[in-house]
A and B are shown apart, each in its own frame.
Chain A
Amino acid sequence: MMAACSTAFTSRAADAMAAPPSAALRTRPGSLASRRGPLPGFGLSLGVALFWLSALVLIPLGALLLRPWELGVSGLWRSLSEPRVLAALRLSFLGALTASAVTLPFGLLLAWVLVRDRFPGRRLLDAMVDLPFALPTAVAGLALTALYAPNGWLGAPLAALGVKVAYTPLGVILAMAFVGLPFIVRTVEPVLRDLPREAEEAAATLGASRPQILWRVVLPALAPALLAGFAMASARAIGEYGSVIFIAGNMPMVSEIAPLVIVTRLEQFDYAGAAAVGLAMLALSFLLLLALNLATRFWRPV
């Protein structure tokens, strides 16, 4: 469900930007080209797409949805309202939102530099953005922990300043920001590339200052893509396990993430209890993505 929503986001963001140029090129309805596309007919395409979606997404999710009800409604409630579970859910969701919000301006800046500027090493930088995608999450987690532990290269000077990163909620947010960065950059980048510079130039000739151009011309055009990137980065960070678990410290009530509660319950052979937390995460993620999705649709700053 999460994946489906995210795709809907990207396509919407892309649509929003692609709409003006493609409107001019669109074939007239009823023309030969529109009736015979390169893919087979609607029925077959939809059938294959639905089969694939069911096998990969709907059936596993269905299994997840059925499991927790073994506990009964009151058991499910009891299992979710434990203070430890609530604290973990709070950390996972608020941590993911904070991490994505902090990453958002930096992701935008990075996308801007990659699209608008030409400088030596640009391609290298471009490739590096994708590293958090490609790197096994456990490796990323271990590297971050080694770096930010109180005896690590960055952790030691920070500890001298009284800032503890590893084994605190701050470490959790750091790891979440790390995995979320490429989602924001890669969502904003294509939209930024298609953004006509003429609009900025026109605004400048009409006497707009640089902050005005940024605020009234560039950001409104990028807003849907930024929201989409924010949503995907958050969705990824909420469910992130491998890269967070090493740096989190895993203290109940303080630095324990919701996916760890799921793993803990599985270790106790409590399958239904684990699925209950999974269900709660799924529902919350869905609501979050839905809200952001609606925001992209209706909220268009001018």
Chain B
Amino acid sequence: MPRLLVPRRSVLTAPLALPFLGTAAGAQPRSVQLLNVSYDPTREFYRDFNAAFTTRWKERSGETLRANVSHGGSGRQARSVIDGLPADVVTLALAYDIDAIAERGLIAPDWQSRLPANSAPYTSTIVFLVRKGNPKNIRDWGDLIRPGVGVITPNPKTSGGARWNYLAGWAWALRQPGGDEKAAEAFLMALFRNVPVLDTGARGSTTSFVQRGQGDVLLAWENEAHLAFAEFGAGQFDIVYPSLSILAEPPVALVDRNVDRRGTRAVAEAYLRALYEPDAQALAARHFYRPRDAAALAAAGSRFPALEMVTIDDAAFGGWKQAQARHFDDGGVFDRLYQPGR
């Protein structure tokens, strides 16, 4: 038995020899790994994009790329990166989550201006998914507060998508005749009174609406609505475009501290830039994300109906930081909606 405890020389020295073997065989194909930390509904898009980019990167640099993607709720994913998940790039649901990472010094503060179009290579918007034939005749935001209409949305406190839902409703209410902030708050309070289930994420809400038969209308990402539509057949649902919605810009960024430590800056930058190129833009459109590229958008034809959209930088919101603090932080407008006695 004690003999086993004595290390054999060959075993001990083998790892030492490995790096030298590596330099001797310098012509061998190098390989590199990349981790993209993303949010929930991008699963299908990035699977296809990674396959295309891996081929391209091999042609360009000779390196074999292994691109991995992690999916989850946007806020939770941001927290994982803050807590040390070694993401090379993040592709999240809203700028606020990337700002939170930047605040901890992992990403340069000016990240959003480093890439074109606010660092959002594709966009989406919020639409209504209703049951086939639209039995409750839901056409616009105002119909959501009618008594007897069940509205399904995730909780804005835990879901990025739900924050877009909420803000789109807020923007619509402000634009109504006599609409001011008080009226908008009353509108949202009536809307959330019609919500029977608050799931923690967008996929959870889709399940509640589609599979559990909850509610009459699902407030959903446009791409998520199309996915449910494609998955469960056109026989069950209709998509309704409201008169006004919000331009959701899911941004992407390089995680500076991680790419510098791992030496992956070049490939990570190329990965993000490739998202803006025509073939990736066409791919985004195929997965129901609105492409930024005008040609790709035109090629998608009637897939993306024209729609009036406000942006988060609209005067009503003043950017993510302000919107988050005002509406969603503890004690904000959303918490007030659920205060007892109201």
Chain A residues in the interface with B (C-beta under 8 A): 79, 82-84, 145-146, 149-152, 166-167, 245-246, 249-253, 260, 263-270, 273
Contacts and interface: CB of A to CB of B under 8 A. Distances in A.
A266 B158 CA distance: 9
Interface string B306-342: 0000000000000000000000111100010011100
Interface in B73-107: 73, 75-76, 78-79, 82, 100
Contacts of A266: 76, 79
B75 A267 contact: yes
A79 B212 CA distance: 35
A8 B315 CA distance: 60
Interface string B144-171: 0000000000010110000000000000
25 contacts: A149-B212, A150-B213, A150-B214, A152-B212, A166-B212, A167-B196, A249-B196, A249-B197, A249-B198, A250-B197, A250-B199, A251-B195, A260-B200, A264-B155, A265-B330, A267-B73, A267-B76, A268-B75, A268-B328, A268-B329, A268-B330, A269-B82, A269-B100, A270-B330, A273-B330
A151 B213 CA distance: 6
Interface of B: 73, 75-76, 78-79, 82, 100, 155, 157-158, 195-200, 204, 211-214, 328-331, 335, 338-340
Contacts of A166: 212
Contacts of B211: 146
Contact of B157 (A150, A245, A264): A264
Contacts of B82: 269
Contact of B330 (A82, A260, A263): A82
Nearest to B154: A250
Contacts of B204: 246
Most buried by B among A150, A152, A166, A267: A267
Nearest to B73: A267
A263 B198 contact: no
A268 B157 contact: yes
B200 A263 contact: yes
A267 B175 CA distance: 31
B207 to A, nearest CB: 9
A251 B199 CA distance: 9
Contacts, number: 70
Nearest to A79: B330
Contacts of B328: 268
Nearest to B341: A83
A282 B73 CA distance: 27
Given A83-B339, A245-B200, A268-B157, A149 B330 contact: no
Contacts of B76: 266-267
B155 A250 contact: yes
A267 B74 CA distance: 9
Contacts of B75: 267-269
A251 B204 CA distance: 14
Contact of A252 (B100, B199, B213, B338): B338
A83 B337 CA distance: 12
Contacts of A264: 155, 157-158
Given A250-B199, A268-B75, A268-B330, A149 B213 contact: yes
B213 A267 contact: no
A265 B212 CA distance: 28
Contacts of B79: 266-267, 269
B115 to A, nearest CB: 24
Contacts of A84: 335, 338
B73 A251 contact: no
A194 to B, nearest CB: 41
Nearest 6 Cβ contacts at the A-B interface: A267-B75, A151-B213, A252-B338, A149-B212, A250-B198, A249-B197
A128 to B, nearest CB: 26
A273 B157 CA distance: 14
Contact of B197 (A79, A167, A268): A167
A269 B338 CA distance: 21
Most buried by A among B329, B330, B339: B330
A149 B100 contact: no
Given A145-B212, A266-B79, 6 more contacts: A150-B214, A250-B155, A251-B198, A253-B338, A267-B158, A273-B330
Nearest to B198: A250
Contacts of A267: 73, 75-76, 79, 157-158
A149 B340 CA distance: 26
